[in-house]
Amino acid sequence: MSTLTNEEYERRRYFLDDLKILSKTEAFKIYEILKNNNVEYTENSNGIFFDLVKLSKETFDELNKYMEFCHAVRKEQSSRDNEERQAQDLLAQ
């Protein structure tokens, strides 16, 4: 494992913030990625825990790509919700 650059450390810190707001289904996909990449983790009644700093660049990139997908899906859903609200407002007039 190599030492992380400041930029890489910050990317992982932001990822951790995003990780906290995932749905249960999205979080399970993170778990599957970790498991498929043989990442060490611990598990208890509070959830699954792993060390972001110890992840290989490849594994982190895979996790980050999935997180970007989650953001895109949320953005699209929000856009659809807004369009639906606007349509309902027009019908109510």
pTM: 0.82
Euclidean distance between CA atoms 30 and 35, whole angstroms: 9
The confidence score (pLDDT) of residue 1 equals 53
The confidence score (pLDDT) of residue 93 equals 84
Mean pLDDT by groups of 10 residues along the chain of 93 residues: 86 95 95 97 93 95 98 94 91 87
In the chain, what are the domain boundaries? 6-92
Alpha-carbon separation of residue 90 from 76, 80, 87 (angstroms):
21, 15, 5
